Amino acid sequence: MRGAVYEMMNWWLDRGVDGFRMDVINFISKVTDLPDGQVPERALYGDAYPYFGQGPRIHEFLHEMHERVFAGRDDRYLTVGEMPGVDVEQARQFTDPANGELDMVFQFEHVDLDHGPGGKWDYRPATVLDLKRNLSKWQEGLAEVGWNSLYWNNHDQPRVVSRFGDDGEHRVESAKALATVLHLMRGTPYVYQGEELGMTNVPFATIDDFRDIETLNHYAEAVDILGAPAEAVLTALRRTSRDNARTPMQWTPDANAGFTTGTPWIPANPNAAEINAEAEVDDPDSVFAHYRALIDLRHRSEVVATGDYELQLPEHPQIFAYSRSLGGRSLLVLANLTGSVATFDPAALPGWEGAEVLLQGRGAETQAASGALQPWEALVLSRG
């Protein structure tokens, strides 16, 4: 069986693909006697993860794949392994070039920060401190060995502007701030469809509006079997369901968001009339324009591409700040990830007085020199 998989991968590489993103690749090695997982309190099923996550032959299998498919090829390729549950030390081992396994992993710690003891449907707010401590841990942990996958959204996650931002009054500003924080870190950024427009979660009215099988199963189990209040379960589904990321891409304000002239599998978000590519592509102040500027900066700047990362203002409860340095050049990223003005002591960031403003998420003149950031304001400063 593995031989057939390697044959298929080689066939695609020979046709010119640039690599592979491999779904839950850390689940391919199982404990073969299939023990039962422990059933958590008020749960219906056992937790089998200890018996298939990072299983006993995972490194053997990944190294074999590398040797059979990628070793000896002079052309460039990329291998990305989606790995739920992997930690920093495991990621270092999987992505250490000396081990010949993967180039990078998709890890889930930062998108699990708002999961409570009961899992993804048990919401707990994730603070700015939670976010910057976790993302910085991965920046520092993979600084010398391995490489980070940088993402907020994918097909399994709710929309980041609704999750960690403000999808109401400050939708545009918070989408820009979150993008700035992520895209200027060390690693490879990923943009999921509609993220670059600031697409939001969906106002699902009833359970009949959902399509995702995980969502529907959870509702049936929680309400019909465990007796949870239907409206409380729906509140959790509206916040966390994967269907938030699976509505049609919002191209235009027309029917079905311009996605199709037919009937889509799930209706478009009603706000497509205001949030769509047609409205943003030529708007210099749009979320889309900000994403283009961030991507352009990464392409132009070796500091962004390969520079060192250092967290700044580590205990500030509102501001996510970090510097990137390479040779004699440095960048400073400052982002207020809250809806209130954030103040700080400029003396805590010595040497940045009068620095060039490379990128700004709000149109108003910055007050960073005096130690104030407006709600959801993001700045990128340069020196050297």
The catalytic position among 7, 14, 23, 114 is 23
Q: What is the largest CA-CA distance in the chain?
A: 65
| E strand or H helix that includes residue 105 | strand 104-106
User: In Å, how far from its chain's centre is CA 303?
Assistant: 22
> Residue 45 carries which side chain, given as an amino acid letter?
Y
Distance (Å, rounded) from C-alpha 75 to C-alpha 265? 39
Buried/exposed 114-133: b ≥16 CB within 10 Å, e otherwise = bbeeeebbeeeebbbeebbe
Tokens of 46: 């056992």
Checking phi first, is residue 238 left (phi over 0); if not, alpha (psi -120 to 50) or beta? alpha
* Residue 166 is among the residues annotated as catalytic for this protein: no
* Residue 23 is among the residues annotated as catalytic for this protein: yes
> Residue 302 carries which side chain, given as an amino acid letter?
E
Distance (Å, rounded) from C-alpha 331 to C-alpha 384? 9
* Placement of tokens 């390729």 in the chain: 77
**Cβ–Cβ under 8 Å, residues 86 and 141:** no
Q: Please list the residues that pair with 324 across neighbouring strands.
A: 309, 331
- Coil/strand/helix, residue 382: strand
* Placement of tokens 């027309």 in the chain: 254
The catalytic position among 7, 64, 67, 82 is 82
Distance (Å, rounded) from C-alpha 345 to C-alpha 176? 24
User: In Å, how far from its chain's centre is CA 274?
Assistant: 24
Q: Which residues are catalytic?
A: 23, 82
